[in-house]
Amino acid sequence: MKVYITDCDHDSVDIEKKVFADAGMEVTLCNAKSEDEVIDQCGDGEIFIVQYAKITKKVMDAIPSLKYVVRYGVGVDTIDLLEATKHGIQVGNVPDYGMNEVADHAIALLLSLKRKIIMMNDNTKNNKWDYQKSIPIHRFSKQTVGVVGLGRIGRNFASKAHALGFNIMGYDPYFKKSEEFNYIDSVSLEKLIENSDAISLHIPSDGNIGLFSYETFKKMKDSAVIINVARGGIINENDLDKALINGEIAGAGIDCMENEPVPSDNKLFSRDNLIVTPHMAWYSEEAASELKRKVAEEAVRFSNGEKIHYPINKLENTPV
């Protein structure tokens, strides 16, 4: 099958090329992000590996040979799923390449906020050698971390936070208690919001836009912090700003925001009690390599008529 990488901002695609070469296949790297660029550069493609390229109805109408679109990473919001299904195009992703990294990043934000590392670093370098500026800090075992979303990453995060001594509350309508996760106190969202000393979000944006609003922040403890390594939009950013200013919550650690990339003059960036990173929770050298290998392996599987591991839409007559 004719395979294109529509677009990719990685340094090289050697890993992908090797997977295809080992399978006796070729892959062509393009630089196509807009609909017209995809149509111009990849017009005879059967399989697309995409990073940011928009795969819309217009693209699908123009490229009838297209059979499979697989995305580098988890989110497939650049692909029109409904149209893909109508056009008989299988869509897939790679959801499990950086679970440890995302959970670790949330842990890093949690520890930075709870031990006040960033704030005290700034204060010590720019003001005074004075631990009293950090008061109060509490022992982890006296605090509860609320995990919203107990899927792949939420459970990974919960196990690490638990190992650090935090008490764990969790909310996920689909969570089933098991021996492995018997330390998670499975509660309602309301109870988690009111009783957590830190809340970490591990849910998709789909169906959850604005879930954390000013009303939600008001219900949280004033001393609690919020962590979002999931997706922008789940937290209403104007409301977060207001909540940080008014002391409704004590701090926030944010890796994902509404309109990325976010300019550095964003008002939230001037809040001392907010830590921000540029949607990098997924990243480590190892996770990046794993993503590239897995995306190419999925394309090879599809090309061989084998069952793909990560289908997004359900089509008739496909081996998923």
* Binding of ligand NAD by 291 (CB under 6 A): no
Q: What is the C-alpha separation between 232 and 235, in angstroms, rounded?
A: 7
279 noted as active-site residue? yes
Q: What is the C-alpha separation between 220 and 234, in angstroms, rounded?
A: 16
Residue showing tokens 């944006």: 205
Please say which residue, 143 or 156, places its beta carbon nearer to ligand NAD: 156
260 noted as active-site residue? yes
180 noted as active-site residue? no
* Binding of ligand NAD by 279 (CB under 6 A): yes
Residue 241's identity, in one-letter code, is: D
Please say which residue, 192 or 300, places its beta carbon nearer to ligand NAD: 192
Which residues make beta-bridge pairs with 1? none
* Binding of ligand NAD by 151 (CB under 6 A): yes
DSSP, res 165: T
Contact call for residues 276 and 254 (beta carbons, < 8 A): yes
- Residues in 184-203 that interact with ligand NAD by CB under 6 A: 202-203
Q: Considering only residues 2, 10, 17, 152, which one is a binding residue for ligand NAD as defined by CB under 6 A?
A: 152
Please say which residue, 21 or 280, places its beta carbon nearer to ligand NAD: 280
Q: Strand ranges (DSSP E) for the chain?
A: 3-5, 27-29, 47-50, 68-71, 90-92, 144-148, 167-171, 184-186, 198-201, 225-228, 251-254, 274-276
Give the residue at shortest CB distance from ligand NAD.
151
Cα distance between the two ends of the chain = 18
Q: What is the C-alpha separation between 248 and 107, in angstroms, rounded?
A: 22
* Binding of ligand NAD by 107 (CB under 6 A): no
- Residues in 130-149 that interact with ligand NAD by CB under 6 A: 148-149
Binding mask 62-101 for ligand NAD (x = CB under 6 A): ------------xx-------------------x--x---
- Residue positions annotated with a catalytic role: 231, 260, 279
Residue ranges in contact with ligand NAD by CB under 6 A: 74-75, 95, 98, 102, 148-154, 171-172, 174, 202-204, 208, 229-231, 255-256, 279, 281-282
